[in-house]
Amino acid sequence: MEKNKAIISVKNLVKKYDDFVAVQDLTFDVFENEIFGLLGPNGAGKTTTLEIIETLRDKTSGEIIVDGFSVDKQAHEIKQIIGVQLQAAGYYPNLNLIELIELFAGLYGASIKPMDMLEKVNLQDKAKAKYKALSGGQKQRFSIATTLINQPKVIFLDEPTTGLDPQARRNLWDLITEIRNQGTTVVITTHYMDEAEQLCDRVAFVERGKLIALDTPDNLIDKLVASGFERKKEVKKANLEDVFINLTGKEWRE
Amino acid sequence: MQKYSNTTATLALAKASFRSIMRSPSAVVFTLAFPIIFIVVFGFLGGKGTHIDVGIAPGSDVNNPVTAMLEKTGMIRLVKNKSKADFDKLLEKGNVDAMIDIHKRLNSVAYSVNVVYTSASMDKGNILKSVLNNLFYNKTLKPSVAEIKESTVHGREYKTIDFILPGQLGFSLLSTGVFGTAFVFLSLRQTLVIKRFFATPVKRSSIVIGEGVARIGFALLGALFIITLGHIFFGFTLVHGVLTVVNMLILATLGIIVFMGFGFIISGIAKNESMVPPISNIVTLPQFLLSGTFFSIDAFPGWLQPISRALPLTYLNDAMRKVAFEGLNLWDVKFQIMILVIWGIAIYAVAVKVFRWE
């Protein structure tokens, strides 16, 4: 694996809505085959930034290159090499999972076996179920399956674990890690710092549309500690989530 | 990388949409159940109005006492000022129930009454026959009428179903086009399904065409079902058989495309799903009532008729009836088709302006 080769390069990205500036002069690179976390409070501009890279939204200024393609002129090419999971997106009504996968295969022009895709996210038992009938974790896994149909080079996951129970969350981490291990770059947003710490190779902190930090989770923590930061309470060797998992087991509840 | 195919994407969408429509209870109810209920009710109800249309043959004596007496009965409407050829056609279709020709007999003051009935409207002909017989034995009239000669032309029997079915077919196309399209695009937009589509390489035109193809396919299937049912169980007249059905389906396609335009507009102006039915009803109800779905628009008061004649469904219904019962071809109904096309252009011009993707 070649290290530090940028697959996404964002330069001086600005997005303005009338008077409101959602993204101000954002510059960062996402390296090939890493899990890149975009972190920050609600309204910081994470989703806007993702959607601009995904070619779903116009930018005000700046330059974005995805695998050599420019978002300005080669949106069509970019769409063919990326997979997108939107926050809270629905799926075509009245269709079962197999039929939905078939639909997306047609939309991407990919020839895949729908069942293989469902197996990747462990939903083969739900092949004939409607999307609406799935649990929260299953819905997210299905969304991820639809992002893999075109064998993308990069997938974008916008808060995939929000609202999931600890088992489903861990289960999704395994899935995301597996996808990365098979050679796909992952860009993810999340509000859970334990998740970012476990999952992400590098994280970018965004606040009010500005980049305020970008490094590996380890380095960021070390820097904070080096600056003299101390937790108020001595950290124990386990936390309450470990207790939860220990008590209720690791297997999926779906 | 494999070359991207817009056709594949469009077809995948059409297939998905068609499956979805077939499983949507409201689509099936509006397209099939309602029209079929009306057809069954009216099919069994049968019966027409109580008046009898009697044509006065050209060249008929105008000062005769017979027509005056006929008018007095109140149930007979005289149809005048048409040529012999026109009357022959009207008789054949049962649009007039009989034609009378009244002449003074040669070298006599008495009149000769020549009545032509039509097998297309035998029941009304029979009523007229008894009315005439009564008149014939009427004391004041008898001296002046010498004889009544009767004959019958053979025409196609025009049944209630022949009027009701095309109207219901038009209504089915209208509701499928308007409600279906409006709901689907609004809900796809609101549930971000369309946004997710935009993250794939699919073109916007593919989304619209795919949806359109599915809806047209569904509407035509419904139309075929309604026509077949009407033909088999209620004797709906198809003059040229399969050819007539094909012509009707071509008209249905044109109709559904025009009506889908209303749906696109509504999906653009409705803010949420609960706004779709009221706005859709504003479009569909007037057409349902005023476009000759249940009653011939000739039965409406004069001030209402111009409104009826402005609505697209009026022309679709009209064209359908002409093709199905009178056996006309599409070129014969080019006027109706032209009006529909003009409506289509106007509607889509508006739709392009108000339609919203996000």
DSSP letters, B106-139, are TTSSSEEEEEEEEGGGHHHHHHHHHHHHHHHT-T
Q: What is the pLDDT of residue A250?
A: 72
Six token digits for residue B24? 């949507």
Are B30 and B219 in contact by the 8 Å Cβ rule? The answer is no
Residues in A touching B188 (Cβ below 8 Å): 92
| A56·B2 Cβ contact <8 A | no
Helix crossing, B181-190 with B242-269: angle to 10°?
Answer: 40
> Whole-number mean pLDDT of chain A?
91
Which of A54, A89, A92 is closest, CB to CB, to B20? A92
- How far is A102 from chain B, CA to nearest CA, in Å? 7
Nearest residue to B279 via CA among B301, B263, B299, B256: B263
Torsion (CA) A111, A114, A116, A121 in degrees, nearest 10:
120
Report the Cα–Cα distance between both ends of chain B, in Å, rounded: 30
Are B244 and B327 in contact by the 8 Å Cβ rule? The answer is yes
Q: What is the pLDDT of residue B132?
A: 77
Q: What is the pLDDT of residue B84?
A: 81
Which of B3, B187, B195 is closest, CB to CB, to A89? B195
**Bridge partners for A28 per DSSP:** A10
How many angstroms separate the Cα of A137 from the Cα of each of A79, A104, A149, A173, A190? 26, 20, 19, 11, 15
Q: What is the pLDDT of residue B144?
A: 64
Tell the burial category of A87 from Cβ atoms under 10 Å away from its Cβ (0-12, 13-18, 19+): middle
| A84·B196 Cβ contact <8 A | yes
Are A98 and A118 in contact by the 8 Å Cβ rule? The answer is yes
pTM of the model: 0.79
How many angstroms separate the Cα of A86 from the Cα of each of A50, A143, B123? 10, 8, 68
Residues in A touching B187 (Cβ below 8 Å): 93
Residues in B touching A91 (Cβ below 8 Å): 191, 193, 196
Torsion (CA) B1, B6, B9, B11 in degrees, nearest 10:
-140
Q: DSSP readout, B9-53?
A: HHHHHHHHHHHHHHT-HHHHIIIIIHHHHHHHHHHHH----S-EE
- How far is A150 from chain B, CA to nearest CA, in Å? 9
For residue A206, give the H/E element and its range: strand A202-207
Q: Average of pLDDT values for A25-38? A: 95
Q: What is the pLDDT of residue B48?
A: 47
Length of chain A: 254
The pLDDT-based confidence of A2 (bands split at 50, 70, 90) is very low
| A93·B187 Cβ contact <8 A | yes
A59 touches chain B (CB under 8 A): no
Please check the confidence at residue A96 and state whether its pLDDT lies above 70: yes
Q: 3-class SS at B151?
A: strand
Q: What is the pLDDT of residue B91?
A: 82
**Bridge partners for A206 per DSSP:** A211
Q: Say which range, A1-5, A59-63, B254-258, B297-301, has the weakest mean pLDDT.
A: A1-5
Residues in B touching A100 (Cβ below 8 Å): 16
Quick count: other Cβ atoms within 10 Å of Cβ B1? 8
Q: pLDDT tens string for chain B (358 positions)? A: 467 889 999 999 999 999 999 998 888 887 888 888 888 887 776 544 457 788 888 877 777 777 777 777 767 788 887 888 888 888 887 788 888 888 777 777 777 778 888 877 777 777 777 777 777 776 666 666 666 777 776 666 667 788 888 998 999 999 999 999 999 999 999 999 999 999 999 999 999 999 999 999 999 999 999 999 989 988 888 888 899 999 999 999 999 999 999 999 999 999 888 999 999 999 999 888 888 887 777 778 888 888 888 999 999 999 998 898 888 889 988 999 999 999 999 999 999 999 988 7
The pLDDT-based confidence of A254 (bands split at 50, 70, 90) is low
| A86·B196 Cβ contact <8 A | yes
The residue with greater pLDDT, A233 or A125, is A125
How many angstroms separate the CA atoms of B350 and B269, rounded? 11
Write phi, then psi, for B328 (nearest 5 degrees).
-75, 160
Length of chain B: 358
Which of B1, B20, B188 is closest, CB to CB, to A80? B1
Six token digits for residue A151? 């064998």
The residue with greater pLDDT, A222 or B75, is A222
Q: What is the pLDDT of residue B2?
A: 60
How many angstroms separate the CA atoms of A249 and A170, rounded? 11
Percent share of chain A, pLDDT over 70: 98
**ipTM for the complex shown:** 0.91
- How far is A77 from chain B, CA to nearest CA, in Å? 8
| A90·B192 Cβ contact <8 A | yes
How many angstroms separate the CA atoms of B255 and B313, rounded? 8
Spell out the residues 6+ positions from residue B240 whose beta carbon is closer than 8 angstroms to its own: B327
What count of Cα atoms within 13 Å lies in the side-chain half-sphere of residue B82?
20
How many angstroms separate the CA atoms of A207 and A251, rounded? 36
Write phi, then psi, for A21 (nearest 5 degrees).
-100, 110
How many angstroms separate the CA atoms of A220 and A89, rounded? 33
How many angstroms separate the CA atoms of A47 and A237, rounded? 34
**Residue corresponding to tokens 């019958």:** B152
Which of A54, A103, A110 is closest, CB to CB, to B199? A54
Six token digits for residue B353? 């302006």
| B11·A106 Cβ contact <8 A | yes
How many angstroms separate the CA atoms of A156 and A53, rounded? 9
How many angstroms separate the CA atoms of B200 and A82, rounded? 8
**Residue corresponding to tokens 């469009």:** B10
- Among chain B residues, CA nearest to A55: B199
A86 touches chain B (CB under 8 A): yes
Q: What is the pLDDT of residue B155?
A: 65
How many angstroms separate the CA atoms of B339 and B326, rounded? 20
Please give the single-letter amino acid code of residue B201: P
- Among chain B residues, CA nearest to A74: B201
- Among chain A residues, CA nearest to B1: A80
Spell out the residues 6+ positions from residue B323 whose beta carbon is closer than 8 angstroms to its own: B244, B247, B248, B251, B329, B330, B333
